Each structure stands twice: as C-alpha cells, then as structure tokens.
Structure 1
Amino acid sequence: MKLLKSWYAILVLALPSLFAFATQTLTGTINLILVGDLGFVVIAVVGVSNIIMYNVFAIFSGIGHSVNYLVAQNFGAGEMRKGMQRMYLALLVSLGVAIFIAAAGWLASGAVLKLTGGSAELVATGGEYLELRFYAMAFGIISFAFHGFFRGVGDTRTSMIVSIAANVLMVGLTYGLTYGHWGLPDMGVIGAGYALLIGEAVQLAICLIVFWGPMHKRYQTRKLQSPDWKELKLISQESGKLGLQEFSMSVSMYIFTMFVLTLGDLAAAANEVALSVMSFGFMPAFAFGSTATILVGQAIGERRPDRAKKAGTNTAILGAIFLVLLGTVELIWAEPIARLYSDDPGVYELAAHLIQVSAYLQIFDGFYNFYAGGLRGIGDTTFLMRASFVLSLFMFVPLTYLFVMVFEWGSMGAWLALYSFLVALGLAVMIRYYRTDFASVRLKAAHD
C-alpha cells in the first residue's frame, strides 16, 4: 500500500510533465510531417535546424534546470522567499541570454547553417528559416526558466497547460502558413518558421500572466526580493555546469549529424525521421527525470534523505515501464510510422530499420535521464557535467567517426555509436546515484 501511494504521487507529477513533453514532441513530429510534402531537402533543413537549435538550447538550458532543483529544495525546506530571490535572478540571466541568441540569429544564422556541411541546396533553402528559429529560441529560453519554477514547486499541471496551449498554436500556424490555409499566406518552410516564433512568444506571455497572476497569492511572485549577488554567482555556476552537461551531448549530436550528412540528403532525411520517432522515447525519459528532480529536491529540502533516494528509485522503475511499452510499439510498427513522414521508399525503409534497432536500447537513455534527474535534485551537478563531457566528446564522437568514416557502416554505424554512448552514460549515472550517501547531502547554498 505504501509503495502504491508512492507510485501514485510520482504519477501525479510525472503524467502532466509527460503530456507536456509529449505535446512538444508531437508538435515537432507533426511539423516535420507537414513540411514533408515540400520534399526531402526541406525535411533535412528542418531536421538540421532542429539539431542547431538543440545545441543553442542546451548551452543555456542550465538556467531552467538550476531554477528547477534550487526552487524544489527551497520549497521542501519552506524557504520560498529564497526561492523567489533565485527565480528573479535567473530571469535576469535568461533575459540577457535571450538578447544574445536573437543577435546571433540576426547576424550569423546563414554562417551557422553552412558549418553543418550540408549541400548548397540545403543551405540556400534553410537560411531564413533558421534565423526565425533563433528568434523563437530567444523567447523559449526565458519560458524554460518559468517552467523550471512551476515544476520546482510541484505545479506540473500548469506547466502542462501552458505547453499544450503554445504547441497547439504552433501546429495550427504551421499548417496555415506553410500551405496558405485558412486565409493565411502561402509561405512554405518560412511560414513554418514564423509559426514557431509566434507560438514561443505566446507561450512566454502566458507564463508571465500565470506567474504574476494566480501564483502571486501563494508565492508573492510580484514582490521583488533584495538581490543577493552571491546567489547570482551560484545560479550562474549551476547553470553553467548543467548547460555544459547538455551542451556536450548536443554538440556531439551536431557532429553526429555532420557525419550523417556526408552520406547524402536521403540518409540525412531518414536519420531525422528516425530521430523524430525515437524522440517519443526521450519524452517519458525527460518527464520522469524531471519528476525525480522535483521529488528528490523537495525531500532533501525537508531533510528526508531516505525518502529522497527511494523517490528516485521508484521514479526510475515507473519510467522504465513506460519505455519498454513504447519500445514494443516502435519495434512492431516501425515502417508504418516512418511512412507517415515520407512516401519515399529510400527514406522510410532506412528510417524503419534504425527505429527497430533502437526500440529497446532507448531504455539506457531513460536510465540517464531518471538518475540524472535524481542527482540534480541533490545538487550533484559537477558529476553530471563531467560524465556528459567526457563520454560525449571522447567516446561518442570518435566512435561515430570510426563507424561511419573508417568502417563505412553508413547510417547503421552512426546509430550503433549513438547507442553505445547512451548505454555507457546511462550506466555511469545510475551507478553514481546508488553510490551516493544521501544522508550527507545538504541544501545547496551560495557559499558552497
């Protein structure tokens, strides 16, 4: 009975996050399907732009992740005045980052796309689209800090509602602006870029309304706290470590994509289709990982290390069950799923093969996210940064080069390198979690 209550508490937090991440993943999937009729070069443009934006997001995602676990600890300890102080400092940092991202998109989007090594047609087609994606990301990085706060206080439902509203708008606008439906202009792939920009701007507006509106009564969100510059240093350090953790993985994925692009546009399109489908596995991994951060962080704040460690374990068990079920679906229906993206036999047959190979291996990506979430909850960000950096750049990248460029194993070689890396990373983080003495963990403070 006690275990069932624990699992119920986990699901109450995890399912809204799961739906939120599902909506985001589904939005990316639907958008890729919608632009698919424009040809495999456009599919490749959108896919490569996704990888570039993933890198940009990863560099600065540490702001939202640090808010998430710091606020969770403050919430558990009943110190929300400190939590609000940290939140406003994080918003200040994210605003500066947003200005930098927008400037980078305006000045260098074309140059960035050329660095991928794609064909001249891909670069010519995708320049303006990528610029719009940079502008959208500027709004998105601020919104992510708000989502970190919402989840930190355990309000995953609000985060879900905001995400769903914004992503439904993005899908509708992508359909309308790409092909000129509903009286909107026919703008092709550029319309898809404007759809994401408008959707991200609306999402940020909703976050501001919720934060300063309904949440003010409980958390005094409109009351500015006196800034503590030591706390700004803490947030910057934690954001930097968590950002480097994500960036080392994303930049290795960027290099991975560059290797895949040497195999031709068809292979690149198949790779992006397969990654899009496998992102449905990343979805429960992220959701349950985020839940682990909330539960572990709040329990540490309450000074209940025993409960914190059990919460991480139970979250990982439930998340693994979700991934096994999802993997079974992907294994059985890989080709019909791939054909939703493209009617080109070369694209969907190769994509289906990659999906089937990955169906159950994605459990290791789940282990990484579940236990990394738990380690974030206790503030063990240094290990996460080091493990991600070392394995991404000194295992994943060399293996991809070896399998694709030296052994010439094609797309399958690239994916074998990817999942070799995820297996090693997932096991490393899981071992770290269970070797950690939770009784010695203390609340994260500015003087740490």
Structure 2
Amino acid sequence: MFTNWKLILGLAIPSVVSFASATVTGTINLIMVGHMGALVIAIVGVSNIICYNAWALCSGIGNSINYLVAQNYGAGDMKKGIQRTYIALYLCLAVVLLILLAGYAAPGAILRLMGGSEELVAAGTDYLCLRLYAVAATTAGFVFHGFFRGIGDTRTPMVLSLAGNAAMIGFTYVLTYGRFGFPELGLWGAGLAVLLGELVNVIGCMYVYFVRLHRRFGTRARVASDRAEAKLIAAESGKLGMQEVAMSLSMFVFTMFVTRLGTHALAANEVALNVMSFGFMPAFAFGATATILVGQEIGKGQPLEARRMGTDVAVLGSLFLFVLGLAEFVFAGPVARIYTDDPAVYELTAQLIRISAFMQIFDGLLNFYAGGLRGIGDTTFLLRTSFLLSWLVFIPLTYALTFMLDLHSVGSWIALYAFLALFAVSVMLRFYRTDWSAVVIKEAGHG
C-alpha cells in the first residue's frame, strides 16, 4: 500500500490546490462585490446557482474523456485517446454554442424563471449574460483538463487554474471599482472579470494541448470521424452530466428548505457549507486521482492492480479528511466567528461544523469509490444511484427531519450526511462486489 502513496499524493495534491483555488476565488470575489449592496449579493448568488447547474449538465464531457483517455494512456494507445479527445471537443463546441445562445438571448428570462424581482432582473441580466459566456469557456477548459489528468498530469490543470483564478481576482478588483486607470464598470465589470479569467485558462489549455503536447502525442493530427466512438462519448458524457445535475438540483432544493427557516439559519448554513467546502475539495481531488489510476491500470490490462489502487486512494484520502475533520471539530467556534459576530449565527454555524467534521469522511468515501467506478466506466450505476438517492431519500428525508420533526437546521444537515453515507456505502459495495477479473478497457459498441 505505502509504495503507492507517493504516486497518489503526487497526483492528488495538485488537484487539491486546483479545486481549492476555485473556492477561494469565489469567496474573494464575493467579498469584493459584496460591498456594492444586498441586491448585488443576491444577483451573484442566483447567478452562481444557475451557472453551477449549467456547468454540471455539461461536466460529463470532461469527466468522460478523463477516464477514457486514462484507459487509452494505460494501454499505450494514445492515437485512440487523441481521437476521443477531438470527438469530445466537437461535442463540447455544440454545447458551448447552446450556452452562448442562452447567454445572449435569455438571461433575463432565466432570472424571472428563478423567481427574481423586476429590480433583480433589470440589474442582473447583463451580469448573468457574461457569467453564462464564462460557463461556455469553463466547459471547454474542463475537457482539456480531463485529457491532462487522463495522462497523469495534474500539475498543468493546477497551474492553469491558478493563473485563471488569479486573473479573475485581479480583473474583478480593477474593473469593478475602476482601479489603476481602468473604467469603473460595477457589477458588469465583475461579470467580465469572471469571463476573462476563464478565457485565460482556456487559452492556456489550447497552448499546452496543441503546441507543447503535439510532439509527444501528435495532438494536431487529423482525426477520422467515428460514429461508434461519438455515440460512446455522447452517452458517457450524458450519464456523468446527469449524475452531477441530480446532486446539484437536490442541493438547490435543500437550500430552499433551509431558506424557509429564516435569515439566521440560512446564514449559518451558507457559512458552514463554505467551511466544509475545504473538506469537499480534497474529496474531489482524491476522487479524480482514483479515476486516473484505476483507468490507467485497466488500460494496462491489470484490473486487480486497479482495484488495489482504488483502495489505496480511499485509505489515504480518508486519513487526510480525518485530520482535517479533527481540526474543524476543535476550532469550530473560532472559525465560525471569523465569518460573523452575530451570536445567533456563529453558534449555530459552529454546531453544524461539528456535526459535519467527521461525517464528511462519508463524502470522501463517496468521491473516492465513485472515482474508481468512473475509472472502469461503470457510469450507469452512478447515474441511477445518484437519481434514486437524491430524489427518493435525500429530499424527502430533509423535509421530514427539518419540518415534520422540527429539527430545523440540524435536521437538514443530518439528512444531508445520511444521504452521503448511504451513497458512499452503495458505491463502496459496488466497487468491491465488481468482478474485477472481468473488467476490460471501454470500447465503442460494448456498453
């Protein structure tokens, strides 16, 4: 086991930095624009929800190419890996055009559909337009990142993410408030800053893929069309995207329930989620590492070694989250006070953090073993389980504990972690009950 830990950490740590930088950037940007007033905060919050769900629907393209390229890389068949990446990019181009069209023609209608007031719609339409354009860029960048991670390169996505997020923060500061000779563009400038940051990332991705990696992999080579491969990638992207949407929409409903508990409960919930996101990021990072290593070992024709790699990632990732959870449990009170000096908010926030501190290990196990299942292409199981548990367990249980049993915010968070625990156990059992000796590389026309 220990012989693999250096390899695992070498892949996981850059991913932790990459994912965490996005969380930190969002927090900093919200702080910077938050001084413009409650209406602006509301616009940014609603836009974040819309854009996250739009990205979730499209994220399957990057996730599918991640595990498919990992398998091809392990098999030494990067000609097929490049072919699949081009097909994914063509599919991504079609999706990007749809997102751009929605950003151009329908941002106001989308805000009205979300229940926004006419004041919010009037002030937020142009901002949401730019944010949707940014989602289009994010989707394209995520496909390239999927390729880089598939070949075992997590440092490049880290560097590009840091560059894009740094640009985003810098442009937000200078364009929102008109610093260093730039015009003061207010909220529109903040939206433009997000778009510019994502474009920095995408341009960097294109340079690395088409220029730096061309000599090694022939990334600028002509690729013949293949309907069977296109069908495979579209199907895998759809399943992984809908899995992400099932969870993102259920979290949206979860937030709606908490909103009904009042301002203090909603504030405590948002702060606690922000704190716990520092646990979610390592979970995502180690999950991505499991996909890479399991996929590559399957490509090498070593399914039992792939199973062992997935187990090693889960063990190391769980230890990582345990240490983090211990720190969160001990310092829950002081951490909560960093965000607010309202006793009603920080006391409830500290309580929620303590509930989550060790239970977030279930979120980790979910991501670790789901990453392993992605590595073998078991995407149908992930989709079905996500939908069933999100909508038949999580949402009803949240409503029952929050309102019917009057447990309020504590009840909602117990429901959240009961859902994550059940999902984690489901994917873990699936992982170990799989007949690994029969697992082979994913091929078009073979399901």
* Smaller-chain TM-score bracket: over 0.9
SS for the counterpart of 2:144 is: helix
Residue identity matched to 2:62: G
Residue identity matched to 2:297: A
Query: In the alignment, which residue of structure 1 is the partner of 2:434?
Result: 436
Query: In the alignment, which residue of structure 2 is the partner of 1:12?
Result: 10
Q: Give 2:238's match in structure 1, choosing from 236, 240, 243.
A: 240
Residue identity matched to 1:195: A
The alpha carbon displacement at 1:173 in A equals 1.9
How far apart are the structure 1 equivalents of 2:118 and 2:407?
25
Q: Give 2:280's match in structure 1, choosing from 279, 282, 287.
A: 282
Indicate whether 1:294 and 2:297 are aligned: no
Q: Give 1:308's match in structure 2, choosing from 286, 306, 309.
A: 306
How far apart are the structure 2 equivalents of 1:340 and 1:45?
24
How far apart are the structure 1 equivalents of 2:305 and 2:185?
54
Residue identity matched to 2:391: L
- The answer to whether the 8 A contact 1:40-1:266 is kept is no
- The answer to whether the 8 A contact 2:303-2:440 is kept is no
Per-residue CA distance 1:138-190 (angstroms, 9 max, x = gap): 11001000000000011111111111111111122223333333333444443
The alpha carbon displacement at 1:225 in A equals 1.4
Residue identity matched to 1:381: T
SS for the counterpart of 2:280 is: helix
Residue identity matched to 1:356: R
Query: TM-score scaled to structure 2, two decimals?
Result: 0.93
Provide structure 1 residue ranges, at least 5 long, that are not aligned to the other structure: none
Q: Give 2:26's match in structure 1, choosing from 28, 42, 54.
A: 28
Query: In the alignment, which residue of structure 1 is the partner of 2:359?
Result: 361
Structure 1 residues 408, 351: closer, same or farther in 2, change over 3 A? same
- The answer to whether the 8 A contact 2:240-2:383 is kept is yes
Q: Give 2:197's match in structure 1, choosing from 174, 199, 202.
A: 199
The alpha carbon displacement at 1:341 in A equals 4.2
RMSD over aligned Cα atoms: 2.1
Per-residue CA distance 1:257-307 (angstroms, 9 max, x = gap): 222333345543433332222111111111100010010000000001111
Structure 1 residues 257, 108: closer, same or farther in 2, change over 3 A? farther
Query: In the alignment, which residue of structure 1 is the partner of 2:52?
Result: 54
The alpha carbon displacement at 1:31 in A equals 2.1
Structure 1 residues 188, 278: closer, same or farther in 2, change over 3 A? farther
Residue identity matched to 2:208: V
- The answer to whether the 8 A contact 1:40-1:269 is kept is no
Query: In the alignment, which residue of structure 1 is the partner of 2:101?
Result: 103
Q: Give 2:82's match in structure 1, choosing from 81, 84, 87.
A: 84
How far apart are the structure 2 equivalents of 1:303 and 1:364?
30
- The answer to whether the 8 A contact 1:41-1:265 is kept is no
Residue identity matched to 2:230: L
Query: In the alignment, which residue of structure 1 is the partner of 2:72?
Result: 74
How far apart are the structure 1 equivalents of 2:108 and 2:386?
29
How far apart are the structure 1 equivalents of 2:343 and 2:117?
21
How far apart are the structure 2 equivalents of 1:125 and 1:400?
33
Per-residue CA distance 1:107-156 (angstroms, 9 max, x = gap): 33333334445677666654443332211101100100000000001111
- The answer to whether the 8 A contact 1:109-1:130 is kept is yes
How far apart are the structure 2 equivalents of 1:356 and 1:186?
42
Structure 1 residues 272, 118: closer, same or farther in 2, change over 3 A? farther
Query: In the alignment, which residue of structure 2 is the partner of 1:386?
Result: 384
Q: Give 1:330's match in structure 2, choosing from 328, 331, 338.
A: 328
Query: In the alignment, which residue of structure 2 is the partner of 1:132?
Result: 130
Residue identity matched to 1:303: G
- The answer to whether the 8 A contact 1:81-1:225 is kept is no
Per-residue CA distance 1:72-128 (angstroms, 9 max, x = gap): 000000110000000000000011111111222333333333444567766665444
How far apart are the structure 1 equivalents of 2:337 and 2:106?
35
When structure 1 is superposed on structure 2, of 251-260 and 105-114 the one drifting more is 105-114
Query: In the alignment, which residue of structure 2 is the partner of 1:256?
Result: 254
The alpha carbon displacement at 1:369 in A equals 0.4
How far apart are the structure 1 equivalents of 2:301 and 2:444?
18
Aligned residues: 446
Structure 1 residues 410, 44: closer, same or farther in 2, change over 3 A? farther
What does 1:131-170 align with in structure 2 at a 5 Å threshold? 131-170=129-168
Query: In the alignment, which residue of structure 1 is the partner of 2:218?
Result: 220
The alpha carbon displacement at 1:254 in A equals 1.6
- Calculate percent identity across the aligned residue pairs: 57
Structure 1 residues 116, 267: closer, same or farther in 2, change over 3 A? farther
Structure 1 residues 34, 186: closer, same or farther in 2, change over 3 A? same
How far apart are the structure 2 equivalents of 1:312 and 1:300?
11
Structure 1 residues 82, 63: closer, same or farther in 2, change over 3 A? same
